[in-house]
Structure 1
Amino acid sequence: MSGFPLYQRHDQAFGSQYANVEQGAAAQPRVLVGAPGTIVEHNRGNAVYYYRQFMDAEGKRQQLSLGGPKGDAEADERVAAVAAQIEQAKDLISRIRELAKLGFQIADNKTYATMAVLYNHGLFQAGAVLVGSHAYAVLLNSLGIKAIAYETEDIDIARARQLALQNLPSGGLLDILRETGIDFVPVPPFNRGDPPTSFKQAGKTRFHVDLLVPSKGDTFPTVAVPELGAHASGMPYLAYLLGQSHMGTLISRHGAVPVRVPDPARFAIHKILVSRLRTNMLIKSQKDVQQACVLLAMLGEHRSGDIELACSDLPKSARTLVRRALPEVQRTLEAHEGALAEFEEGLGV
């Protein structure tokens, strides 16, 4: 077969650098939202109070009160802890800058802030999963490969079952998202009277967060997510994608945050499946297949057995849809015979 390789592998040393960033991100007690910034002091009457001064997700200077007065043991201890977080975050950012030069996928600052508040409230730890193109970027980094990235202003968060969460704000998911400093508002649903399942930044922007849950069959219902005080869009075959997941790390120029992402083989196969459901969205369908084939190529050549295992768990009703995409997958995987062979064998072709 001819064709061009779909990816390049990072040097092993660079993969080790990324692994060190992952370890540093996981060691953070909480993730700072926005750039790390610095500690500043302000006089209030005869006392001195502490603030964290930083640039937010939109590049605006902010000050967050850390309390006081200076000399109070509890306040000084709190400030010392935040100062340690700032230094830890700055160390991570210095290493992330190097990874960016080497072709690792770097998230934008608004996406990072959104992931940070979700992580700080325990969503990923409780089982929520980042899906979509941002998850693809995390998977590329964790697999140690370079490939074409796709810019997106969509953030897709999914959950398979009710999340065990504590101490959430009274406004639920919307209040959590607003902790980013971004003015999120509910997106009016297509059908008037239905509850919203998506939140966007107010104004002329396309930046938004979609909440997703599995649906039964091929329906797209609106489903209540009571633990988040929100509703979600039901998606066919999403349960398959969420059946296997693990913690990864999203990196940006503001820091690094642990996130939960799907198993890469399931992600790839689900992308192919979704491409057949997007019957009126040709460009997105092509992007889905391209992303899927990049992951299939890497897994087939360096993690033998992963594709076959993921195929074995694919629901029978989904196999027909996946097989419809086979001609496009065959063309895209032209330079990766082994990966294509494992995929075809997994589907029983």
Structure 2
Amino acid sequence: MKSIDLMYQTMLAELGQRSLDAAWTADFPPAGRFTPATVKGRKYWYFDTPDGQGGTKRRYVGPAEDPDIAARVADHKRDKDDLRARRRMVNTLTREGGMIAPDAMSGDIVAALADGGLFRLRAVLIGTVAFQCYSGLLGVRLPMASILTGDADIAQDYAISREVEDSLPPIVDLLQGVDASFRPVPHRSGVAASSAFQNAEGYRVEFLTSNRGSDDYVEQPAKMPALGGASADPLRFLDFLIRDPVRTMLLHRSGVPVVVPDPSRYAVHKLIVASRRHVDGQGPAKREKDIRQAALLFQALQQTRRSADLALVYNEAWERGPSWQEEIRIGAAMLPEVDAERLKIQLLDGAKVNREDIVLPFG
């Protein structure tokens, strides 16, 4: 009988260790603590976690003399120390480094969804909460006036949601773990599905997906198998936004790993979105915010020498056809003169680097 090569034995051991680490982290989160207890003269370990009502919930771990358990207890202390160190780093980055932290509600919501597996299931954080991440991602300071929000928007491609064969826990449970007043918002179409959830103070969490067909589907929520019972509103142009997203950190508590749109795509998409805002209700204010965020990103991308990236993404959108071109033209026409000139220079410079032609959106 032939032996398995040592390389494969080592690989199996590594796989086992990583799997154990992942399971252990899930079972014994940093929020809890190990507590020794002596029963009939023998020492055991228990794990105490907050029960959300001012008390603790205790779980049995095992005998103290078990060397594997003893090592895990020591590792848990190290992990908690690391958690504290990461919180200090987040505080330093936001207070001294000029990077942006989200408001507490947004941060807690994104953290709860992330812990539930949102980004593992290839969802993308979009909207203003995502914009808050670009300060650290691009290494620039962004003004606070452009990042204030009262909602969190999440996007996932429908095909991905259907094909991953996995799901978040119930979205309502995750959100109510942050704020018990969260409730599903009845869908405007009248169907028995919810793509948005809102708490008593009006904070809204909304789920979106791409619509590459007729606008007739916009009013019908799409069933999203991976989103824990939530549906999602189909939106045109969203597939462009969430293509090739990037990983970064939301600077909340000890840091939340998130997935956000590429900043060049976000900026171009904002021009398109601004062109489609209604002229009544909150439309004008949202349109102004869209244009402001796009302009800030154009400036940041120029400062960080990413004009070639912007030109590539812009050309991709432009080449999608006349309707896309018209939306881009309308959005670009809303830019203040200095920002429009900056965009023009960037696109020309980027096209030169990319060695490709480009059609400017200005008349």
1:329 aligns with 2:335: yes
Q: Is 1:186 aligned to residue 184 of structure 2?
A: yes
Work out the CA distance in 1 between the residues paired with 2:69 and 2:166: 23
Cα distance per residue 1:285-325 (max 9 Å; x no partner):
10011001111112134212122111111132222012112
Q: Does 1:91 align with 2:85?
A: yes
Mapped contact 2:137–2:248 kept (Cα < 8 A): yes
Is the helix fraction higher in 1 or 2? 2
- The answer to whether the 8 Å contact 1:268/1:292 transfers is yes
CA distance in 1, matches of 2:108, 2:75: 20
Whether 2:117 is the aligned partner of 1:113: answer no
Alignment partner, residue 255 of structure 1? 254
Task: State the structure with bigger RCO (CA 8 A, min sep 6), 1 or 2.
Answer: 1
How much does 1:43 deviate?
6.4
Which residue number in structure 2 is paired with residue 225 of structure 1?
224
TM-score, length of structure 1 as denominator length? 0.76
**2:202 alignment counterpart:** 206
Distance between the aligned counterparts of 1:205 and 1:138, measured in 2?
24
Q: Does 1:141 align with 2:136?
A: yes
Q: Is 1:68 equivalent to 2:66 in the alignment?
A: no
Asked if structure 2 preserves the Cα contact closer than 8 Å seen for 1:38 and 1:86, the reply is: no
Q: Structure 1 pair 340/67, CA: closer, same or farther in 2 (3 Å)? A: farther
Unaligned runs of 5+ in 1: 1-27
Q: Could you say if the C-alpha distance between residues 162 and 330 of structure 1 is closer, same or farther in structure 2, counting changes exceeding 3 Å?
A: same
More strand by share: 1
Q: Deviations over 1:201-236 (max 9, x none)?
A: 3xx212231110011244423111123232111111
Report what 1:22 is aligned to.
none
**Percentage of matched positions with identical amino acids:** 23
Deviations 1:120-157 (A, max 9, x none): 34331332100000110112221011112322121111
Is there any run of 5+ residues in structure 2 with no aligned partner, and where? Answer: 1-20, 349-357
Q: CA deviation at 1:329?
A: 1.3
Do 1:68 and 1:76's aligned partners in 2 also have CA atoms closer than 8 Å?
A: no
Of 263, 284, 309 in structure 2, the residue corresponding to residue 282 of structure 1 is 284
With 61-70 and 268-277 compared, the bigger mean Cα shift is at 61-70
| Greater mean alpha carbon deviation, residues 260-269 or residues 35-44 | 35-44
- Does the C-alpha gap of structure 1 residues 217 and 146 become closer, same or farther in structure 2, counting only changes over 3 Å? farther
**Is contact 1:138-1:248 (8 Å) kept?**
yes
Q: What are the residue-to-residue correspondences of 1:1-349 with 2, within 5 Å?
A: 37=31, 39=33, 41=35, 49-53=46-50, 63=56, 65-68=58-61, 71=64, 73=66, 79-102=73-96, 103-149=98-144, 150-160=147-157, 161-163=159-161, 165=164, 168=167, 172-180=170-178, 182-201=180-199, 204-215=200-211, 216-219=213-216, 220=218, 221-228=220-227, 229-252=229-252, 254-279=253-278, 280=280, 281-301=283-303, 302-314=305-317, 315-316=320-321, 317-331=323-337, 333=339, 337-343=341-347, 347=360, 349=362
After superposition, the CA RMSD in angstroms is 3.2
* Pair 1:71–1:110, CA change in 2 (3 A): farther
